């Protein structure tokens, strides 16, 4: 909230004027937006009229992702109460019908809606949200745990360092996120281990999401020769941190000197063909690639932006600091929304659950983008958790009041809380509050239960 009351009142009045003239739709009626409604209808499977049709099922699935209690029972109970309030007939509170309806939702519908919402948002982003005229795309990977079932273990095996029965299946998720709006543009899901499940391989399946003129920003894991070549073919610029092995051998006395610890170098095509490439693809790859290396902010960056006048070192240093935003975005998805541990017990449903979380995240981001446009700020200045809390409260207390004349009030509330600008912030990765002193489970649960029956619980650790 702005400390000056006069400025705050002026901001609220400006948002009201713009909201009255805006044709934007907020989260509460996003699924009835004509553009998105066409997209929903095009992705709907053939279905009979049931208690849980696809659109109702999707809304309930989204509600689960945004709720502290993510059980199917809570979702069904909530829908049953809403039916009663709406004057409809009493329905069963058993969860079987809803669970079967969730299983019928096509994965392509959930992923397509997520991609459509993210790409539509970034396509309408003001040019002020770009960097030197480039729409910036962030890339990073993370892992997601899920229930320890045989089906999940077969598709998403746990790390080899964990004994059977003591770990959880892990999926690897790589996402492309818009720096300007914070929306997820696309994502790829694979296993935690196994051939073809590394972050680079998953990213290659997403390259068609990038458009000419985009700029891809990532950490040192992505600074590979063939990825840089693929991006150049698509007209996409790149800024990565230099890989560790190459960083140790960097010599700024070589190549074309551009400034202090800033030069152009020529990378040669690796002599060994990667396993994922075909001989034809390897032969078509260029024999060399000119890139720019520069040392700034304690890091060595590699980029395809070769002109130091158009993209000075100071600008690139400031841009790379923004890479941290993707870490915060993944934290919002996993911790704030609660995707760190999935609840679905089959691989097919686990994938759907991930896409529902990403869709819910994009819908919250859409509200933030609309509030940012109307309050003349950037979406990154607004609080994701604040927006999420407002929507949950609005949905709980404002049922039946989701009209256009209320939009400006919601936008004002969203725009009131700004996140702090704390560049270079460093926090220890440690917690002050100690967890409860339970011993770790070091044997299969069935064996541990039998030991408790035979010998009782172990004494409490002092």
Q: Are residues 191 and 85 in the same domain?
A: no
Q: Are residues 320 and 411 in the same domain?
A: no
Q: Are residues 77 and 154 in the same domain?
A: no
Most confident of the ranges 22-36, 48-62, 88-102, 248-262: 248-262
* pLDDT tier, 409 (very low <50, low <70, confident <90, very high otherwise): confident
Query: What pLDDT shows up at residue 276?
Result: 87
Tokens of 412: 């004002």
* pLDDT tier, 7 (very low <50, low <70, confident <90, very high otherwise): low
> Average pLDDT of 142-155?
94
Q: Are residues 112 and 260 in the same domain?
A: yes
Beta-sheet pairing, 215-218 with 262-268: unpaired
Say yes or no to pLDDT of 314 above 90: yes
**Based on the number of CB atoms within 10 Å of its own CB, is 395 exposed (0-12), middle (13-18) or buried (19 or more)?**
middle
Query: What pLDDT shows up at residue 179?
Result: 96
> Average pLDDT of 182-204?
92
| Residue ending a domain, choose from 329, 347, 370 | 329
Q: Are residues 72 and 139 in the same domain?
A: no
> Average pLDDT of 58-82?
87
Q: Are residues 385 and 323 in the same domain?
A: no
> Average pLDDT of 374-402?
81
**Based on the number of CB atoms within 10 Å of its own CB, is 382 exposed (0-12), middle (13-18) or buried (19 or more)?**
buried
Is residue 203 situated within a structural domain?
A: yes
CA–CA distance, 268 with 270 (Å, rounded to integer):
6
Q: Are residues 101 and 112 in the same domain?
A: no
| Residue ending a domain, choose from 382, 398, 416 | 416
Least confident among 47-61, 124-138, 287-301, 341-355: 47-61
Is residue 265 situated within a structural domain?
A: yes
Say yes or no to pLDDT of 9 above 70: no
Say yes or no to pLDDT of 158 above 80: yes
Tens digits of per-residue pLDDT, 435-449? 777 788 888 888 889
Query: What pLDDT shows up at residue 70?
Result: 86
Is residue 51 situated within a structural domain?
A: yes
Task: Give me the number of domains the chain comprises.
Answer: 2
Is residue 295 situated within a structural domain?
A: yes
> Average pLDDT of 387-395?
86
Say yes or no to pLDDT of 22 above 60: no
Query: What pLDDT shows up at residue 249?
Result: 80
Mean pLDDT of all residues in the chain? 85
Q: Are residues 158 and 211 in the same domain?
A: yes
CATH number, position 321: 3.90.350
Torsional sign, CA 121, 126, 132, 133:
positive
CA–CA distance, 405 with 410 (Å, rounded to integer):
10
* pLDDT tier, 213 (very low <50, low <70, confident <90, very high otherwise): very high
Least confident among 216-220, 339-343, 373-377: 373-377
Least confident among 30-34, 73-77, 134-138, 433-437: 30-34
Say yes or no to pLDDT of 19 above 50: no
Q: Bigger pLDDT: 409 or 355?
A: 355
* pLDDT tier, 403 (very low <50, low <70, confident <90, very high otherwise): low
Q: Are residues 91 and 133 in the same domain?
A: no
Q: Are residues 376 and 229 in the same domain?
A: no
Say yes or no to pLDDT of 79 above 70: yes
Q: Are residues 169 and 269 in the same domain?
A: yes
* pLDDT tier, 48 (very low <50, low <70, confident <90, very high otherwise): low
Say which residues have a Cβ less than 8 Å from residue 364's Cβ, sequence separation at least 6: 27, 384, 387, 388, 391
Considering only CA atoms, which of 429, 192, 423 is closest in space to residue 325?
Answer: 423
* pLDDT tier, 241 (very low <50, low <70, confident <90, very high otherwise): very high
Is residue 262 situated within a structural domain?
A: yes
- As beta bridge partners, residue 291 has 265
Say yes or no to pLDDT of 202 above 90: yes
CA 46 to chain CA centroid, Å, is: 30
Say yes or no to pLDDT of 330 above 80: yes
* pLDDT tier, 16 (very low <50, low <70, confident <90, very high otherwise): very low
Is residue 35 situated within a structural domain?
A: yes
Is residue 166 situated within a structural domain?
A: yes
Is residue 245 situated within a structural domain?
A: yes
Q: Are residues 131 and 167 in the same domain?
A: yes
First-to-final CA distance of the chain: 46
Say yes or no to pLDDT of 135 above 50: yes
Say yes or no to pLDDT of 131 above 50: yes
Tell me which residue range forms the domain holding 101. 5-106+359-416
| Residue ending a domain, choose from 309, 329, 349 | 329
């Amino acid at each position: 909230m702005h400390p000056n009351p006069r400025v705050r009142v002026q901001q609220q009045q400006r948002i009201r004027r713009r909201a009255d003239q805006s044709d934007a739709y907020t989260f509460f009626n996003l699924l009835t937006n004509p553009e998105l409604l066409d997209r929903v209808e095009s992705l709907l499977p053939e279905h009979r009229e049931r208690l849980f049709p696809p659109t109702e099922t999707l809304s309930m699935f989204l509600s689960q992702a945004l709720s502290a209690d993510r059980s199917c029972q809570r979702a069904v109970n909530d829908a049953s109460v809403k039916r009663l309030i709406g004057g409809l007939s009493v329905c069963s509170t058993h969860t079987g019908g809803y669970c079967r309806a969730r299983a019928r939702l096509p994965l392509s519908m959930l992923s397509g809606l997520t991609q459509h919402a993210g790409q539509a948002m970034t396509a309408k982003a003001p040019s002020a949200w770009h960097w030197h005229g480039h729409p910036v795309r962030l890339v990073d990977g993370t892992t997601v745990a899920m229930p320890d079932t045989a089906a999940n273990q077969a598709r998403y095996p746990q790390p080899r360092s964990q004994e059977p029965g003591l770990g959880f299946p892990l999926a690897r998720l790589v996402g492309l996120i818009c720096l300007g709006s914070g929306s997820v543009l696309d994502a790829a899901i694979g296993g935690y281990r196994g051939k073809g499940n590394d972050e680079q391989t998953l990213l290659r399946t997403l390259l068609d999401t990038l458009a000419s003129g985009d700029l891809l920003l990532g950490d040192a894991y992505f600074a590979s020769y063939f990825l840089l070549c693929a991006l150049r073919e698509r007209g996409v610029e790149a800024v990565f941190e230099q890989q560790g092995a190459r960083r140790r051998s960097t010599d700024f006395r070589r190549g074309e000197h551009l400034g202090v610890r800033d030069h152009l170098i020529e990378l040669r095509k690796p002599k060994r063909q990667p396993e994922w490439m075909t001989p034809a693809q390897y032969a078509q790859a260029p024999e060399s690639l000119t890139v720019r290396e520069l040392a700034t902010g304690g890091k060595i960056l590699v980029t395809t932006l070769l002109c130091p006048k158009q993209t000075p070192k100071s600008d690139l240093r400031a841009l790379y600091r923004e890479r941290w935003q993707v870490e915060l975005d993944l934290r919002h998805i996993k911790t704030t929304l609660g995707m760190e541990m999935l609840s679905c017990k089959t691989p097919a449903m686990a994938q759907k659950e991930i896409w529902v979380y990403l869709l819910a995240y994009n819908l919250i981001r859409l509200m933030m983008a609309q509030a940012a446009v109307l309050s003349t700020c950037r979406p990154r200045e607004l609080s994701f958790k604040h927006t999420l809390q407002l929507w949950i409260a609005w949905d709980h207390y404002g049922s039946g009041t989701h009209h256009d004349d209320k939009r400006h009030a919601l936008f004002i509330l969203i725009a009131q809380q700004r996140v702090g600008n704390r560049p270079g912030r460093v926090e220890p990765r440690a917690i002050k509050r100690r967890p409860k002193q339970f011993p770790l489970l070091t044997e299969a649960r069935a064996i541990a239960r039998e030991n408790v029956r035979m010998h009782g619980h172990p004494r409490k650790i002092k």
